[in-house]
Chains A and B, each alone.
Chain A
Amino acid sequence: MDFTLINRLLSKLVLAFCAVMLIPLVGALAVDIEHVWLFVFTLIASLTVASILSTYANERSRQRLRGREAIAVVGCGWLLVCFLGSLPYLFFNPGDPLAAVFESVSGFTTTGVTTVNSFHEFPPSILIWRCLTHWTGGIGVIMLFIVIMPQMNGGASYLFNAELPGGMAERTLPKIQESAKLILTIYTFLTILEIGLLILSGLPTYHAINLALATMATGGFSFYHDSLISFHNVAIEAIAVVFMLIASMNFSLYYKIWRRDWESIKIDSEPRYYFGLIVTAAVLIFGDLYTHGVMAFQPAVRHSLFQAVSIASTTGFASDDFNTWPSFSRYVLLMLMFVGGCSGSTAGGIKISRVVILLKAGWAELLRTLHPRIVYSVKMGKRDIDPIIVSNITRFFFLYMFVFMILSVLMSISGISMMESFGIVAACMSSVGPAFGIVGPTATYANLPDWARFISILAMLFGRLEIFTLLAILRPDFWRDKQNW
Chain B
Amino acid sequence: MNIRLIIFLLGKISVLMGLVQIINFAMAIYFDEACSKEFLLSIVFAIALGYGMQHYGKDAADDDISLREGIGTVFFSWVLAAGIAGVPFVLVGVLDPVSAYFEAMSGLTTTGATAIKDLEVLPKSLLFWRAMNHWIGGIGIIVIFVALLPQMAGSAVYLFNAEVTGFSNSRILPRIRTTAIALFYIYLLLTIILTGVLASMGMSVYDAVYHACSCIATGGFSNYNNSVAHFSSPMIEYALSIFMVLAAGNFAIYYQVTQNGIKALWEDLEFKTYIGMVLIFSVLITLNIVLVNGYSLENGFRSAFFHVASFSSTTGFVANDYDQWPPFARMMLAIMFFTGGCAGSTAGGIKICRLIVLVKTVGAELRRSLHPQMLSSVYYGKARLSLATITNIGRFFFMYFFVVAFLTLATTASGIPPEEAIFGIASCLASVGPAFGSLGATGTYADISSGAKIAMSLAMLLGRLELFTALALLRSEYWHKSKRW
Whole-angstrom CA separation of A363 from B468 in the bound complex: 9
B143 smallest CB distance to A (angstroms): 20
Interchain CB contact under 8 A, A401 and B401: yes
Whole-angstrom CA separation of A358 from B396 in the bound complex: 10
B262 at the interface (CB under 8 A from A): no
Select which of A153, A387, A409, A475 is within 8 A of B335 by beta carbon. A409
Interchain CB contact under 8 A, A332 and B369: no
B137 smallest CB distance to A (angstroms): 22
Interchain CB contact under 8 A, B361 and A421: no
Chain A contacts for B328, CB-based, 8 A: 409, 412-413, 415
Whole-angstrom CA separation of A485 from B335 in the bound complex: 39
Select which of B362, B370, B394, B409 is within 8 A of A331 by beta carbon. B409
Interchain CB contact under 8 A, A155 and B475: no
Interchain CB contact under 8 A, B408 and A331: yes
B148 smallest CB distance to A (angstroms): 27
B146 smallest CB distance to A (angstroms): 20
Select which of B366, B370, B485 is within 8 A of A68 by beta carbon. B370
A328-B398 CB under 8 A given contacts A370-B472, A419-B419: no
A238 at the interface (CB under 8 A from B): no
Interchain CB contact under 8 A, B369 and A156: yes
Whole-angstrom CA separation of A415 from B394 in the bound complex: 33
Chain A contacts for B370, CB-based, 8 A: 67-68, 154-155, 472, 475, 477-478, 485
A74 smallest CB distance to B (angstroms): 12
B243 at the interface (CB under 8 A from A): no
Chain B contacts for A288, CB-based, 8 A: 413
A416-B394 CB under 8 A given contacts A370-B478, A372-B67: no
**Binary A-proximity of B311-352 (CB < 8 A = 1, otherwise 0):** 000000000000000111011101100100000000000000
Interchain CB contact under 8 A, A485 and B362: no
Name the interface residues of A349-387: CB closer than 8 Å to any CB of B.
Answer: 358-359, 361-363, 365-372, 387
A372 smallest CB distance to B (angstroms): 7
A391 at the interface (CB under 8 A from B): yes
Most buried by A among B71, B394, B405: B394
A397 at the interface (CB under 8 A from B): yes
B213 smallest CB distance to A (angstroms): 31
Select which of A154, A330, A335, A391 is within 8 A of B372 by beta carbon. A154
Interchain CB contact under 8 A, B412 and A331: yes
B438 at the interface (CB under 8 A from A): no
Select which of A68, A156, A327, A418 is within 8 A of B416 by beta carbon. A327
A471 at the interface (CB under 8 A from B): yes
Chain A contacts for B398, CB-based, 8 A: 358, 361-362, 394, 397-398
Select which of A330, A370, A397 is within 8 A of B477 by beta carbon. A370
A286 smallest CB distance to B (angstroms): 14
Interchain CB contact under 8 A, A405 and B335: yes
A365 smallest CB distance to B (angstroms): 4
Interchain CB contact under 8 A, A367 and B326: no
Interchain CB contact under 8 A, B366 and A155: yes
**Binary A-proximity of B460-485 (CB < 8 A = 1, otherwise 0):** 00000000110110110110000001
Interchain CB contact under 8 A, B358 and A370: no
Interchain CB contact under 8 A, B397 and A398: yes
Known A331-B412, A370-B478; further 6 A-B contacts with Cβ < 8 A: A327-B421, A358-B395, A366-B474, A387-B391, A421-B331, A468-B366
15 sample A-B contacts, Cβ–Cβ < 8 Å, listed by A number = A67-B369, A327-B416, A327-B421, A328-B415, A362-B402, A365-B392, A366-B475, A372-B67, A391-B391, A392-B365, A395-B361, A398-B362, A405-B338, A422-B419, A468-B365
- Give the B-binding residues of A (Cβ under 8 A): 67-68, 71, 152-156, 288, 326-328, 330-332, 334-335, 338, 358-359, 361-363, 365-372, 387, 390-392, 394-395, 397-399, 401-402, 405, 408-409, 412-413, 415-419, 421-422, 436, 468, 471-472, 475, 477-478, 485
